[in-house]
Amino acid sequence: AQTVTQSQPEMSVQEAETVTLSCTYDTSESDYYLFWYKQPPSRQMILVIRQEAYKQQNATENRFSVNFQKAAKSFSLKISDSQLGDAAMYFCAYIDLTGANNLFFGTGTRLTVIP
């Protein structure tokens, strides 16, 4: 069964600094997608970044980038120049191409940004 693990329940970062959130996953599939979602207090889930497993190049979206290590089944999120608005719960998620289209989520990391 696919599992997604986020080992850091809470993280904090000074404003304007860089922070990395960890995520590992377990799968026997070779084709899959990985996501990072942000959940602010409003509870709305916002897609931050997406990575296709067949792509070797790490995805980037402005201040957000990932370090995708397929062999190690690791998918960390780096937030550069952290802003107060980045404070939220961050969820790592996985979906494969088996057709089930079931999106598996980790338990989340609560990020605090210190002014």
Does 30 contact another protein by CB under 8 A?
no
Q: Are strands 3-5 and 104-105 parallel, antiparallel or unpaired?
A: unpaired
Does 11 contact another protein by CB under 8 A?
no
Site residues for another protein, 53-82, by CB under 8 A, read: none
CA distance 115 to 107: 26
Query: Which residues, 6 or more positions from 71, have their beta carbon under 8 angstroms from its beta carbon?
Result: none
Distance of closest approach, residue 38 Cβ to another protein, in angstroms: 11
Of the candidates 20, 73, 104, 112, which one interacts with another protein according to CB under 8 A? Answer: 104
Distance of closest approach, residue 109 Cβ to another protein, in angstroms: 10
Does 51 contact another protein by CB under 8 A?
no
Q: Are strands 24-26 and 3-5 parallel, antiparallel or unpaired?
A: antiparallel
